[in-house]
């Protein structure tokens, strides 16, 4: 199942060939890069890896249907490397499983690495830690597991056998939590060497927030550029701030549509050796599991070459553009404007956001002209004046001349900025997952929401 970032999840075939390619051309390459760039990761320390056992259903022919990303079942030979006991992966509720991930991670002062598929998972784990740290510290101190968790009796009994009272570690944790959560990761785990997770594309916002707050001074490595369709690129330059990926020519056969031809009925396509530095292209892939010249919707920019192979930066997804009058505002363009606006809101820290085009909500949108509704979850600020809200519209006008021209003409109405209550986007994630077969391991928040029920969900939680 695809992640459904652009609206709805799709079902694609995954074969042994595609999985082998990902391991040999992706995982092994990036492990070697990581070892060279971060030699301390070779130490015999455990990793707190945040992933969950997805619900797997079956087709009528008995073919399993689910995500094709790393799962506890596919990683069963590596579970001994992680702080989380294998039994935790039998816990069906993500909220309880996350609590146990955090509990066993906190017990290990010598933790070496935080890992997940995406930075969003790590970010929301720290949010949960901020909310539940007192309960977690109590469990560490007394060597028990909170009775609030919904666990099978045999699972609880087996996990509690792995616990023992540790008042010294509990006191150390309490002292660090009471100092606040800025830079908390290194204070909890002084030997932490690396955060290993994708922090580009829709996860850029979470990577930035982790680096600025919870995980200050901890190196990050964003290893892959990949999709459900297969491996696209690997990051050979982990110390560079901008995430650049070397295209993998043997993983999938790629063709490229120049950005200026995206709307053509029969756009011309280029091959890898025809690409030009500084130009942007949409990817088409042909893979070993049956996709033929398939447009995955990703736009990438060629930023250079490694030998003869292009290095690319992810730009945006076509299905996640704001477009009420043909202005086509990409996710990266909008996020840049939003970050600048938040800097002008004193005391505010961005947690998450999504946009809705007014046509989705009909009369409930409140303004006659087409416009954007922007739902923002903030920390440190519960109200915005009209002048502060307008800062976002102003920032986007500065960045997009086309949007500005439509605003001056009155063809696009003023942006409506709605603050939502604390925890809204975590609830939205759960709500979206209930509507699809997407696993928490592969979930990506939709930055442009196309379904009215999701837009209504946010509207009901506006402050």
pTM of the entire structure?
0.93
Can you spell out the DSSP letters for 153-164? HHHHHHHHTT--
Alpha helices, H only, 253-385? 331-343, 358-361
Residue 2, classified by CB atoms within 10 Å of its CB into exposed (0-12), middle (13-18) or buried (19+), is buried
Angle at 240 between CA 270 and CA 32, to 5 degrees: 85
Please say whether the beta carbons of 395 and 337 come within 8 A.
Answer: yes
Q: Closest Cα to residue 145, out of 103, 84, 86, 93? A: 103
Residue 390, classified by CB atoms within 10 Å of its CB into exposed (0-12), middle (13-18) or buried (19+), is middle
* Rounded CA separation 43/46 (Å): 9
* Rounded CA separation 104/359 (Å): 47
In a structure prediction context, what are the per-residue pLDDT tens digits for the chain, which is 463 residues long? 777 666 567 888 888 777 777 888 889 999 999 999 999 999 889 999 999 988 888 889 999 888 877 888 888 899 999 999 999 998 989 999 999 999 999 999 999 999 999 999 999 999 999 999 999 999 999 999 999 999 999 999 999 999 999 999 999 999 999 999 999 999 999 999 999 999 998 899 999 999 999 999 999 999 999 988 889 999 999 999 999 999 998 889 999 999 999 989 899 999 999 999 999 999 999 988 888 999 999 999 999 999 999 999 999 998 889 999 999 999 999 999 999 999 999 999 999 999 999 999 887 666 778 999 999 999 999 899 999 999 999 999 999 999 999 999 999 999 999 999 999 999 999 898 877 767 788 888 999 999 999 999 999 999 9
Q: Is 280 helix (H, G, I), strand (E, B) or coil?
A: strand
**Conformation bin of residue 335: beta by default, left when phi > 0, alpha when psi is -120 to 50:** alpha
Q: Is 6 helix (H, G, I), strand (E, B) or coil?
A: coil
Q: Supply the DSSP symbol for 240.
A: S
Place of tokens 């070459």: 305
Q: Closest Cα to residue 417, out of 353, 364, 369? A: 353
Residues with Cβ within 8 Å of 157's Cβ and at least 6 positions away in sequence, in order, are none
Can you spell out the DSSP letters for 76-88? GGGGGGBSS-GGG
Please say whether the beta carbons of 434 and 387 come within 8 A.
Answer: no
Please say whether the beta carbons of 220 and 195 come within 8 A.
Answer: yes
Cα four-point dihedral sign 371, 375, 381, 383: positive
* Rounded CA separation 223/388 (Å): 38
């Amino acid at each position: 199942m695809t992640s459904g970032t652009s609206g709805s999840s799709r079902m694609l075939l995954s074969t042994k060939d595609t999985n082998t390619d990902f391991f040999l051309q992706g995982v092994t390459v990036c492990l070697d890069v990581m070892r060279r760039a971060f030699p301390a990761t070779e130490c015999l320390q455990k990793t707190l890896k945040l992933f969950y056992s997805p619900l797997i259903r079956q087709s009528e022919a008995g073919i399993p249907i689910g995500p094709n990303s790393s799962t506890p079942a596919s990683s069963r030979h590596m579970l001994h490397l992680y702080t989380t006991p294998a039994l935790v992966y039998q816990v069906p509720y993500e909220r309880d499983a996350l609590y146990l991930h955090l509990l066993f991670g906190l017990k290990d002062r010598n933790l070496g690495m935080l890992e997940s598929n995406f930075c969003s998972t790590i970010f929301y784990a720290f949010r949960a830690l901020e909310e539940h740290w007192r309960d977690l510290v109590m469990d560490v101190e007394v060597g028990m597991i909170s009775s609030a968790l919904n666990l099978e009796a045999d699972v609880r009994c087996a996990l509690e056998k792995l616990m023992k009272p540790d008042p010294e570690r509990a006191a150390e944790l309490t002292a660090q939590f009471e100092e606040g959560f800025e830079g908390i990761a290194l204070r909890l785990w002084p030997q932490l060497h690396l955060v290993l997770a994708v922090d580009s594309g829709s996860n850029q916002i979470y990577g930035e927030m982790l680096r600025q707050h919870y995980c200050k001074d901890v190196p990050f490595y964003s290893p892959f550029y990949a999709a459900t369709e297969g491996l696209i690129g690997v990051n050979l330059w982990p110390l560079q701030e901008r995430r650049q990926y070397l295209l993998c020519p043997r993983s999938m056969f790629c063709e490229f549509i120049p950005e200026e031809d995206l709307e053509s009925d029969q756009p011309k396509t280029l091959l890898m050796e025809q690409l030009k530095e500084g130009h942007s292209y949409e990817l088409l892939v042909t893979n070993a599991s049956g996709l033929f010249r398939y447009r995955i919707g990703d736009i990438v920019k060629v930023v250079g070459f490694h030998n003869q192979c292009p290095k690319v930066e992810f730009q945006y997804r076509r299905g996640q553009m704001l477009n009420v009058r043909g202005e086509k505002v990409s996710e990266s363009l909008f996020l840049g404007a939003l970050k600048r606006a938040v800097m002008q809101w004193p005391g505010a820290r961005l947690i998450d956001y999504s946009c809705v085009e007014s046509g989705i909500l009909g009369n409930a949108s409140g303004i006659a002209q087409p416009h954007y509704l922007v739902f923002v979850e903030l920390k440190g600020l519960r109200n915005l004046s009209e002048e502060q809200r307008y800062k976002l519209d102003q920032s986007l006008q500065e960045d997009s001349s086309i949007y500005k021209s439509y605003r001056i003409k009155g063809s696009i109405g003023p942006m409506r900025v709605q603050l939502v209550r604390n925890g809204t986007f975590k609830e939205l994630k759960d709500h979206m997952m209930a509507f699809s077969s997407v696993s928490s391991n592969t979930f990506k928040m939709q930055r442009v929401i196309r379904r009215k029920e999701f837009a209504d969900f946010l509207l009901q939680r506006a402050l």
